[in-house]
A and B are shown apart, each in its own frame.
Chain A
Amino acid sequence: MSSIRSALANARGMGSAKSGVGHWWAQRVSAVALVPLTLWFVACLASQLGADYASVTEWLSSPLQASLLAIYLAAIFYHSQLGLQVIIEDYVHTESIKMASLIVLQLANILLAVAAIFSVIMILVGAAG
């Protein structure tokens, strides 16, 4: 099919949104990572429902388990930020409120992800408490 786009626009591949498929692709890649990680995470939680402090710290004293949880947390907060960003862009039409919401969203997600991952590392190395 012939395109009404100019040759330059086609070569850039940015489409009508002018930002390309970067956001869309990042959402898919994080989604693919989250499929097996979510099943693993739910299985970990379900097998120790109402777990006490000792069993949680023992679970996260394994480098493999702690690594998987750190990756899961990074993927969760990244995917969550990408999704909530689209919701804000869809429904918040006042430019100033939209910008402020997007900035708060991104910073809050970075804060939560870093704090949660540092907590996992602290438990792993036995620095918790």
Chain B
Amino acid sequence: MSRQVNRPLSPHLQIYRWQISMLTSIAHRASGMVLSVGSIFLALWLIAAANGPEAFAGINGFAGSWFGQLLMFGWSFALFYHLCNGIRHLVWDVGVGLDLETARLTGYVAIGVAAALTLFVWIWAFIA
């Protein structure tokens, strides 16, 4: 590792011109990490529920606070984005939609559908 490297290096992330394909790719990994943290909270929520009403009231009270709701909103968008873009990846895996135009279009579709589903589910939650 200490040896001097003289060959050209790949440019850093901030050098590239941003485009939809790289945004959706990075966001897929980022949302996956966000959701991993969310899954810890889901586990704690269920463990608290198994420990009885008092323990459950504690974590559910936090989930219902403004900060908890902000976390839930973020996690719901991350979940819908990861879901939509994940389906996009599964379609790619069968060899469909890999040409540049389609891949760009489905990138915008994934973000749009994720945003729409997030708004829909929160409106539903507050009406129900």
**Chain A positions near chain B (C-beta within 8 angstroms):** 28, 31-32, 34-35, 38-39, 42, 45-53, 56-57, 60, 73, 76-77, 80, 83-84, 87, 112-113, 115-116, 118-120, 122-123, 127-129
Contact = CB atoms under 8 A, between A and B. Distances in A.
A46 B124 contact: yes
Contact of B50 (A35, A77, A112, A119): A119
Interface of B: 29, 32-33, 35-36, 39-40, 42-43, 46-47, 49-53, 56-57, 60, 64, 76, 79, 83, 86-87, 89-90, 93, 121-122, 124-126, 128
A116 B43 CA distance: 5
Nearest to A76: B39
A45 B35 CA distance: 16
Contacts of A123: 46, 49-50
Contacts of A120: 46, 50
B83 A35 contact: yes
Contacts of B126: 49
Given A77-B39, A112-B39, A128 B51 contact: yes
Contacts of A48: 128
A112 B86 contact: no
A83 B36 contact: yes
